[in-house]
Chain A
Amino acid sequence: MTGTVVCPFCEAENIEGADECEACGEALTDLSVRIPTTSVEADLLRDRIERLWPKSPSTVTLDTPVGDVLKKMVDAKIGCVMVVDKGKLVGIFSERDALMKLNTDAPKFLKRPISQFMTPDPVTLETSDKIAFALHKMNVGGYRHIPILFEGKLVGVISIRDILGYLTERIAAAARRQG
C-alpha cells in the first residue's frame, strides 16, 4: 500500500509524511523514512526500557572508601555501583574502572574516596525511552551498564546481559510466529 506509513510505536497506519502518529502522538519525523523490516526491529522501536525490569541500583556516596565499594560489588555480585550525592546520580564505578584505574595499585587506594576513581556524569536513559536507545548507547558507546531514571530520579540499572536476554527472547518469539 503506497501513501501510508506504519507507526513503529503503536503500529497504526498514518499518511506518509505525517509529523506525528494519529493514534499515539509519537513523532514520526525521524522515522517515517523507513519502516522496520522485521518484527524484532519493530519490537526494539516499540518496547520501552521499563520492560527490561531494570534492577535496583546499588548506591554508594562520593566519600565511600574504595575498599568498601569493591567489597560491596563482590558481595552483591554486581558489576557496577552508582555514586550518588544528596540523592542525585553523580557517577558510576564499574569493574572496568577497577581494572583500568586501580589494578595492581589497589592496595594503595583502598582508603581513598570513590569520587577519585568513578566515571563522573554517566550516560543515563529514562524508563520510558525505547530499548533501541539502550542498544545504541551500549553498542556505539561500548558501555556495559546504563543507569535508568524515572522523571530524573535514579531507579535502576540495565546491563548488556539484559539486552542480550531481551534480543534472544524477541528473536525466538519471531521464529515461533514464523512457525
Chain B
Amino acid sequence: MDFQLSLDSESVGSAYPDQPLAATADDSVGDVLQLLRAQRTGAALICDGAKLVGILTERDALKLMAAGADFSRPVRDVMSGNPATLPANATVGEAIRVMSQGGYRHLPVVDDDGRPAGVVAVHGIVRYLVDDFPETVYNLPPDPKAAPREREGA
C-alpha cells in the first residue's frame, strides 16, 4: 500500500467531511454560537443566499467570549470573510497541505458555484489515515499499562 499515492489521488470526500452547518450573514452572533452548540460542531459556514461568504469557528467564539463581545450583532461583523476553501475534487493530500500551511482546523468544501458541500476537519483526516491500519489503533487496550506482561493461565 503506497500511502503517498493514496493521499494524492484519494478525494477529500474520503476524509469524513462533516455536513455543512450553514447560517446567514444577518444572523446574530448569539444565534450562531447556540447553533454551534446544538450541533456540537466546530465551524459554521456563513452564507449569503447559497454562496459561502465567511466562517465562524469555535476559536472565533472563544475570542468573542473573552472580549465580552455583543452577541446581538450580525455575524457578518465578526466572521472571517473569504475563508480558504477546497474544491470538491481536491485530494486528501491537498486538504492536509492547506490546513497545515494556513493553520486551519476546518476547511469548507465548495462546489463549482461556491456553494458549501461539506467541511473537512482535522479529526476526519486523522480518521482517514487510521483507516489504513485499523488494527494498530483500534485493538489497543484502553490503558497502555493494561497489556498483560505474562500470558494468563500459562
A residues in contact (CB < 8 Å) with B: 19-20, 27, 29-30, 34, 36-38, 40-41, 44-45, 67, 70-71, 73-74, 79, 95-96, 98-100, 102-104, 106-107, 110, 125-126, 129-130, 132-133, 135-136, 138-140, 142, 144, 160-161, 163-165, 167-168, 171-172, 174-175, 178
Q: A95-B62, A164-B100, A175-B3 are known contacts. Are A126 and B125 too (CB-CB below 8 A)? A: no
> What 1/0 flags go to B127-138 for Cβ under 8 Å of A?
101101101111
A38 touches B141 (CB 8 A): no
Measured in the bound complex, the distance between the Cα atoms of B62 and A104 in whole Å is: 11
A interface majority secondary structure? helix
B113 beta carbon closer than 8 Å to chain A: no
Give the shortest distance, in Å, between B101 (CB) and chain A (any CB): 12
Give every chain A residue within 8 A of B150 (Cβ-Cβ).
Answer: 19, 29
List the A residue with the shortest CB-CB distance to B127.
Answer: A139
Which of B17-25, B46-54, B63-71, B79-87 interfaces with chain A? Answer: B63-71
When the two chains form their complex, are residues A40 and B133 in contact, meaning their CB atoms are under 8 A apart?
A: yes
Q: Inside 8 A of B66's CB, which chain A residues have their CB?
A: 67, 70-71, 73-74
User: What CA separation (Å) do A160 and B130 show in the bound complex?
Assistant: 13
Closest to B41 in A: A99
Interface residues of B in 26-46 (CB under 8 A from A): 30, 33-34, 36-37, 40, 42
* Residue in A45, A74, A125 whose beta carbon sits within 8 Å of that of B136 in the complex: A45
Chain A residues closer than 8 Å to B68, beta-carbon distance: 106-107, 110
Q: Are B33 and A103 in contact (CB under 8 A)?
A: yes
- The 8 Å CB contact of A98, one of B2, B65, B149, is B65
Ordered by A's residue number, 16 sampled pairs between the chains whose C-beta atoms are within 8 Å are A19-B149, A27-B148, A29-B148, A30-B147, A34-B135, A38-B133, A98-B61, A99-B33, A99-B62, A104-B71, A130-B144, A140-B138, A144-B123, A160-B126, A164-B122, A175-B4
